[in-house]
Amino acid sequence: MTISASDTKAARVLRAGTADVISHDLDARLASTHCNGCHVDASVTRLVVETTDDGTAVTAEINVAVTDERGVMISMIASSARATARRQKLVSLRDEALLGAVEGLSSKVVRALRQSAPRPVRATAIAHR
Protein backbone atom coordinates (compact mmCIF):
# COMPACT_ATOMS: atom_id res chain seq x y z
CA MET A 1 0.00 0.00 0.00
CA THR A 2 1.27 3.45 -0.85
CA ILE A 3 0.56 6.07 1.78
CA SER A 4 1.47 9.66 1.13
CA ALA A 5 0.99 12.39 3.68
CA SER A 6 2.79 15.57 4.69
CA ASP A 7 3.81 14.13 8.07
CA THR A 8 4.29 10.73 9.68
CA LYS A 9 1.46 11.28 12.18
CA ALA A 10 -1.02 11.67 9.29
CA ALA A 11 0.43 8.55 7.63
CA ARG A 12 -0.04 6.53 10.84
CA VAL A 13 -3.64 7.75 11.19
CA LEU A 14 -4.35 6.73 7.59
CA ARG A 15 -2.86 3.24 7.97
CA ALA A 16 -4.60 2.35 11.22
CA GLY A 17 -7.84 0.49 10.66
CA THR A 18 -7.93 0.43 6.85
CA ALA A 19 -8.27 -3.35 6.73
CA ASP A 20 -11.12 -3.26 9.25
CA VAL A 21 -13.03 -0.62 7.28
CA ILE A 22 -12.95 -2.46 3.94
CA SER A 23 -13.35 -5.94 5.44
CA HIS A 24 -16.45 -4.95 7.41
CA ASP A 25 -18.05 -3.15 4.46
CA LEU A 26 -17.25 -5.95 1.97
CA ASP A 27 -18.59 -8.57 4.39
CA ALA A 28 -21.85 -6.64 4.72
CA ARG A 29 -22.22 -6.19 0.96
CA LEU A 30 -21.39 -9.83 0.16
CA ALA A 31 -23.34 -11.47 3.01
CA SER A 32 -26.12 -12.78 0.76
CA THR A 33 -23.80 -13.78 -2.08
CA HIS A 34 -22.74 -17.41 -2.39
CA CYS A 35 -19.99 -19.05 -4.38
CA ASN A 36 -18.58 -22.55 -4.55
CA GLY A 37 -15.46 -22.13 -2.38
CA CYS A 38 -14.58 -18.67 -3.67
CA HIS A 39 -12.16 -16.35 -1.92
CA VAL A 40 -12.32 -12.57 -1.99
CA ASP A 41 -9.05 -10.82 -1.12
CA ALA A 42 -9.04 -7.03 -0.90
CA SER A 43 -5.98 -4.82 -0.67
CA VAL A 44 -5.65 -1.07 -0.22
CA THR A 45 -3.03 -0.26 -2.83
CA ARG A 46 -2.93 3.52 -2.44
CA LEU A 47 -4.01 6.04 0.17
CA VAL A 48 -3.05 9.67 -0.39
CA VAL A 49 -3.71 12.86 1.59
CA GLU A 50 -3.55 16.20 -0.20
CA THR A 51 -4.26 19.77 0.81
CA THR A 52 -6.21 21.54 -1.93
CA ASP A 53 -8.07 24.83 -2.32
CA ASP A 54 -11.22 22.91 -1.33
CA GLY A 55 -9.66 21.58 1.90
CA THR A 56 -8.14 18.21 2.73
CA ALA A 57 -8.60 15.39 0.22
CA VAL A 58 -8.03 11.67 0.74
CA THR A 59 -7.85 9.34 -2.27
CA ALA A 60 -8.14 5.57 -1.76
CA GLU A 61 -7.49 2.80 -4.30
CA ILE A 62 -8.53 -0.80 -3.65
CA ASN A 63 -7.78 -3.98 -5.61
CA VAL A 64 -9.90 -7.11 -5.16
CA ALA A 65 -8.99 -10.59 -6.35
CA VAL A 66 -11.75 -13.21 -6.62
CA THR A 67 -10.53 -16.83 -6.88
CA ASP A 68 -12.29 -20.18 -6.97
CA GLU A 69 -11.70 -23.11 -4.59
CA ARG A 70 -8.58 -24.16 -6.55
CA GLY A 71 -7.08 -20.66 -6.41
CA VAL A 72 -7.83 -19.95 -10.07
CA MET A 73 -8.44 -16.26 -10.69
CA ILE A 74 -12.08 -15.51 -11.52
CA SER A 75 -11.76 -11.74 -11.51
CA MET A 76 -9.43 -8.88 -10.61
CA ILE A 77 -11.23 -5.63 -9.83
CA ALA A 78 -9.91 -2.16 -8.97
CA SER A 79 -11.69 0.91 -7.70
CA SER A 80 -10.82 4.31 -6.31
CA ALA A 81 -12.64 7.14 -4.59
CA ARG A 82 -11.83 10.59 -3.25
CA ALA A 83 -13.23 12.39 -0.21
CA THR A 84 -12.73 16.13 0.29
CA ALA A 85 -13.76 18.42 3.13
CA ARG A 86 -12.66 21.65 4.76
CA ARG A 87 -13.15 20.68 8.38
CA GLN A 88 -13.34 16.96 8.89
CA LYS A 89 -11.09 14.56 10.76
CA LEU A 90 -8.57 12.69 8.65
CA VAL A 91 -9.92 9.31 9.80
CA SER A 92 -13.44 10.27 8.65
CA LEU A 93 -12.14 11.31 5.23
CA ARG A 94 -10.14 8.07 4.98
CA ASP A 95 -13.21 5.99 5.84
CA GLU A 96 -15.35 7.92 3.35
CA ALA A 97 -12.80 7.37 0.57
CA LEU A 98 -12.39 3.66 1.40
CA LEU A 99 -16.14 3.07 1.56
CA GLY A 100 -16.60 4.90 -1.73
CA ALA A 101 -14.01 2.65 -3.37
CA VAL A 102 -15.70 -0.47 -1.95
CA GLU A 103 -19.08 0.76 -3.19
CA GLY A 104 -17.59 1.28 -6.64
CA LEU A 105 -16.40 -2.31 -6.93
CA SER A 106 -18.97 -4.28 -4.92
CA SER A 107 -21.43 -4.90 -7.77
CA LYS A 108 -18.57 -6.21 -9.92
CA VAL A 109 -17.46 -8.54 -7.11
CA VAL A 110 -21.02 -9.83 -6.71
CA ARG A 111 -21.19 -10.48 -10.47
CA ALA A 112 -17.91 -12.40 -10.33
CA LEU A 113 -19.09 -14.49 -7.37
CA ARG A 114 -22.32 -15.44 -9.10
CA GLN A 115 -20.29 -17.28 -11.74
CA SER A 116 -20.02 -20.24 -9.32
CA ALA A 117 -22.40 -22.53 -7.37
CA PRO A 118 -23.80 -21.53 -3.93
CA ARG A 119 -21.53 -21.44 -0.89
CA PRO A 120 -20.95 -18.67 1.70
CA VAL A 121 -18.16 -16.18 1.00
CA ARG A 122 -16.06 -14.34 3.57
CA ALA A 123 -14.05 -11.28 2.58
CA THR A 124 -10.54 -10.69 3.90
CA ALA A 125 -8.60 -7.47 3.76
CA ILE A 126 -4.88 -6.91 3.87
CA ALA A 127 -3.31 -3.59 4.79
CA HIS A 128 0.38 -3.49 3.92
CA ARG A 129 2.48 -1.50 6.35
User: Model-level pTM?
Assistant: 0.74
> For residue 36, which of 68, 78, 1, 79 has the smallest C-alpha distance?
68
pLDDT category, 121, cuts 50, 70, 90? low
Range picked from 21-25, 56-60, 121-125 for highest mean pLDDT: 56-60
Handedness of CA 63, 88, 48, 20 (dihedral sign): negative
- DSSP category for residue 120: B
User: Where exactly are the structural domains of the chain?
Assistant: 2-126
* Superfamily of segment(s) 2-126: Ribosome hibernation promotion factor-like (3.30.160.100)
Quick: pLDDT tens for 72-100.
Answer: 888 899 999 999 999 888 889 999 999 99
Quick: pLDDT tens for 2-45.
Answer: 344 444 555 666 667 777 777 777 777 777 676 667 888 888 88
